[in-house]
Amino acid sequence: MRLTSNFALLVSTLISAAAAQDLGVPLSWREFSNSRPKSERITIAQNAIDQMTPQLVSSTGEFNGIGYWQSGNVWSVMANQDWLAATTTNQALVVNNLNLVFSRWQHYDQFGFNDDAMWWAQAALYGYRAYKDTNLLAHAVDVWTHVTGYVITAAQASAGKNPNKSFNIEPTCNGVTMAGGVFWRPTTDDTAINSITTGLYLTLSAFLGEYTGNATYTNAAILSANWIKNHNINANDLVLDTVNANDCSTSPASWIFTYNTGKYIEGLSVLGVTSGDSSWTSMMINLLNSAVKTNVWQGSNGVITEGASPTANNDAVGFKSVLIRGLHEAWTRNPSNTALTTLIHSYGDVQYNALLELAATGNTYSSSWAGPPQAFTSWGQLAALDVMTSNIDTN
């Protein structure tokens, strides 16, 4: 029988969808299982945190050897450790220092970057989730409200103007509205809208929608999720970096980093639940499947190679931990999808086993997860923390 063009198109579409949902674990991955009991995994993760806390500068709430946004992510993982382990071991440090830093820098913004502010707001939200401390929730709401002034609304996109920017905005790029994009910097002349800032705003919005029941937050999350969906995902289902709002110019196609996709995965994982729209979950699964199987930031053995920097800190060192955290959120939100949870479990174990067997010196870890081991560095420890804590669950 000869297929009609419409029927052939339908078959092709179904085959493509099935391929996109193939969540099998690649057999080339290095050690994608682990038999350590949960109690041991909790201890390993807390021991890794305990190696980091002596680097705390008590007067600033930041850590020696790493940057401001990276320090915020240490507090994130410490709060998540208590949440997943059902402990309060880190509570006093987390709460006191998130309050301290909020008192030092208005809207958590030390250097004039919206993403910096939201990394700390995200830590505050994780702290609220772990400890139900309403001051931390208030910090997150404050940052969200501040950054909302740098989100392009539908009306601003149509008018080609954001009141906090001194230049005209392109109403559309490639024929699609720029509504939902979040400016990287609050300065009047910076034109960049990037995926990490927009993804952070999406994630904050989705969590706040969940915690408050206020649809304003959920609708904001949907608008920003659509911006990334429409403007900044490549043909391989990996999230790209930057679009400039004044002329639609973009960052190089080679600028593909774990944290852009990881934060989008996290945001979509929450949004799929809070919005009641399963299409966001389906999209998240496709992106996640691509993220753990790409050759952009890992070899065929599955061990992430991005951000391996034994001798000096840089921003990329902190990227891959954000991907791991996003995968954990997807694992948490989709317990009935056993193929997905098995894939996340397996990928997490690949990183976990590599760190413990190839990159460990006692309870400290190299930023090069494929090894060799080295003496303690703050940035190497930072990169490993989310792997250790996430594996309390996903293992």
pLDDT tens readout for residues 349-391: 999 999 999 999 999 999 999 999 999 999 999 999 999 999 9
8 Å CB contact between 69 and 318: yes
**pLDDT per residue over 227-239, tens digit each?**
999 999 999 999 9
Looking at residue 1, what is its pLDDT? 29
95: number of CA atoms within 13 Å, CB side? 15
Looking at residue 71, what is its pLDDT? 98
8 Å CB contact between 239 and 260: yes
Q: What is the dihedral of CA 80, 85, 91, 93, to 10 degrees?
A: -70
8 Å CB contact between 327 and 265: yes
Instruction: Give the separation between CA 156 and CA 202, rounded to whole angstroms.
Output: 18
Residue 3 has pLDDT above 80, yes or no: no
Report which DSSP code applies to 194.
Answer: E
Q: Which of 11-20, 274-283, 291-300 has the lowest mean pLDDT?
A: 11-20
Beta strands per DSSP E along 142-239: 172-173, 176-177, 192-194
Q: State which H helix or E strand residue 243 sits in.
A: strand 242-244
Structure tokens of 387?
A: 């792997």
**pLDDT per residue over 4-22, tens digit each?**
333 333 334 333 443 447 9
Q: Which of 369, 387, 385 is nearest to 310 (CA)?
A: 369
Residues forming a β-bridge with 298 = 304
Q: pTM for the full model?
A: 0.95
Instruction: Give the separation between CA 367 and CA 297, rounded to whole angstroms.
Output: 14
φ, ψ at 56 (rounded to 5°): -65, 130
Looking at residue 51, what is its pLDDT? 98
Report the CATH fold assignment for 32-394: Glycosyltransferase (1.50.10)
Please state whether beta strands 176-177 and 192-194 pair in parallel, antiparallel, or not at all (unpaired).
unpaired
Looking at residue 8, what is its pLDDT? 36
Looking at residue 156, what is its pLDDT? 98
